[in-house]
Amino acid sequence: MRKIPEFITEEELISIIKKTKKEHHKLAFLLGFYQCMRISEIVKLMQIDIDKNSKIIKVHGSMSGGGAKGDKDRNIPIAPEIIRGIKNLPIGCGVRSLQRAFKIAARKAGIVKKLHFHSLRHSGATYYLNIKGWDIRLVQQFLGHARLDTTQIYTHVTPKNLIDKMWGVKKGGF
């Protein structure tokens, strides 16, 4: 049985960003969460991959490092939360440096979950499905998955989400 990866909330992401000093690290974390990008895609992302008029990021399959994950190109809309940070591209550091920076920032933010940089991608997918209310097929396309069951691994349903969806609980509680 596959272990479900840890994920963070948007509030936890914000606390991590607040504990991050370097602007290019902040942008990388935001790209991981809001754009659901892989770390290998983030370190290879260049200004030329950004269509500022259409507000689209062109993610090339070759950015993922080859193999099954690297076969497909995809165009993803730029999340409003990262528009201003795009000027900090390219990220200018490698995979290991970003992984280390993320773990340090998460620890400084007081988050005790066993997180990895890839947790940002899982967290973003969960955010779009549960908080933003996207259809799972839309999340699948955003992530660039060929199979829906792969996307389902990336999405987490919390007990609160179940209660809200199943019983129609509105904000403000019972």
Task: Indicate which residue of 69, 74, 108, 116 is catalytic.
Answer: 69
Is the separation of the CB atoms in 18 and 109 below 8 Å?
A: yes
Known catalytic residue at 96: no
Task: Indicate which residue of 25, 44, 121, 122 is catalytic.
Answer: 121
Residues 6 or more apart from 119 whose CB is under 8 A from it?
5, 6, 7, 8, 113
Dihedral through CA 157, CA 79, CA 145, CA 153, nearest 10? -20
Task: Indicate which residue of 34, 127, 128, 154 is catalytic.
Answer: 154
Task: Indicate which residue of 25, 26, 44, 145 is catalytic.
Answer: 145
Residues 6 or more apart from 96 whose CB is under 8 A from it?
none
Dihedral through CA 124, CA 2, CA 103, CA 78, nearest 10? -20
d(CA 27, CA 33): 10
Known catalytic residue at 69: yes
Q: In what order do the strands lie in the sheet with 74-77?
A: 50-51, 56-59, 74-77
Task: Indicate which residue of 24, 38, 44, 156 is catalytic.
Answer: 38
Known catalytic residue at 118: yes
Known catalytic residue at 38: yes
The catalytic residues are 38, 69, 118, 121, 145, 154
